[in-house]
Structure formats: C-alpha cells, structure tokens
C-alpha cells in the first residue's frame, strides 16, 4: 500500500472516531436539555394545591358547559380547582349523593335530597362524591386534580365513594381508566366510573 493512501485511511479513521465522539456528546447534551425541560414543564405540579372555588368560566367546560354557576354551587354541589401561583390549572365539579345517578337530572334530584337530609342530621351531605365534569387548562392538570380529589375524599369522615357521571365518549373512558378508575356501568346517556377509596 502506498504511504499516502495509508495516511489518508488513518486520518479518515481518526476523523470518524472524533465525529462519533462529537455526535455522542451532542446527544448527551440534548438529552440533558430535554430532561431538564420536562422537569421544568411539570415543576408546577409539586407546588399545586386543591382549593374550593366560588366560580369558574363554564364556557371552558368541554363536558357540561350548559350547567351554570348556580347549578354548580347549589344544594351542596361544589367546584374544586388545582391552583398554583394564583392560577387555576384544572377544575372538577361535584355533587354529593346517597345513590349513583345516571343522568344530570337524577344528579340534580339526588343532590337536593342529600342536601335536605343533611340539614336534619350532621350537616354532612351524602356519602358519594359524584364528579360530573373535569377539565384541564395545563398538561398534567386533569390527572393531578383526580389524584388530589381522591386524597381529599379519602381523608373525609363521611364520603366513602368517588364516582363519575361521564359522557359516553372514548375520551372520557380512556381518561378515567388511565387514571385508575373502573367502569361501573354504561347508561343510556352517560357512563359511571368509580375510583376505589
């Protein structure tokens, strides 16, 4: 082999090694940057807290925008949000009942009944928390609010079940199953999922 060609092969080999090292270092730096970016993206989750809200923008509700604030706050029904630095990132609305409703009309009647019964007893409204709508304003908010509400109900001294009154959509089904619920029943207009307490 001629010395010049041998020299070129050695240089090309060395250059390929250098190039592979440079590519490897670039990939390591990219991965660190992506990982750091993901950590920053979900930093808000660590400092978020569950709060009861007096109001919310019902037009943002993708599930039941037709239900006004009066409905959401009457007869012991409540609105909860995940709050971080004075900003709400996810919202979930509840009614408290003694039975599992299959329609919004049943939810209305059952929450009224539980509320009126509670006035005669210990002021604790219903034993079942019925989540009838949930929406997220930031990635990860929906999952976080389910987790926080689950913890709140578990600590409660009178609530023993967390059940949804969800629309008949695959999105609702996938969301609740992915977050650990089981499908309780499929109704004519809705479906119910239960998060085991």
Q: pLDDT by residue (tens digit) across 73-94?
A: 999 899 999 998 889 999 999 9
The pLDDT of residue 38? 47
Cβ atoms within 10 A of the Cβ of 96, count? 22
Q: What's the pLDDT at 30?
A: 65
pLDDT in tens, 132-164: 999 999 888 888 998 899 899 888 888 999 999
The single residue listed with the structure tokens 């009838």 is: 132
- Which stretch of 3-12, 72-81, 168-177 has the lowest confidence by average pLDDT? 3-12
Q: Does pTM top 0.95 for this prediction?
A: no
């Amino acid at each position: 082999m001629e010395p010049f060609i041998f020299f070129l092969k050695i240089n090309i080999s060395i250059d390929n090694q250098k190039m592979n090292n440079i590519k490897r270092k670039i990939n390591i730096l990219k991965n660190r940057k992506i990982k750091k970016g993901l950590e920053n993206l979900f930093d808000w989750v660590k400092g978020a807290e569950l709060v009861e809200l007096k109001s919310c923008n019902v037009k943002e509700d993708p599930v039941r925008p037709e239900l006004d604030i009066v409905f959401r706050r009457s007869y012991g029904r409540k609105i909860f949000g995940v709050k971080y630095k004075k900003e709400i990132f996810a919202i979930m609305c509840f009614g408290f009942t003694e039975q599992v409703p299959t329609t919004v009309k049943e939810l209305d009647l059952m929450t009224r009944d539980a509320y009126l019964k509670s006035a005669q007893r210990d002021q604790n409204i219903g034993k079942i928390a019925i989540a009838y709508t949930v929406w997220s304003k930031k990635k990860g908010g929906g999952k976080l609010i389910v987790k926080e509400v689950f913890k709140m109900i578990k600590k409660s001294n009178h609530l023993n079940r967390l059940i949804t009154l969800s629309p008949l959509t695959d999105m609702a089904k996938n969301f609740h199953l992915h977050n650990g619920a089981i499908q309780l029943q499929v109704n004519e207009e809705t479906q119910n999922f239960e998060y085991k307490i």
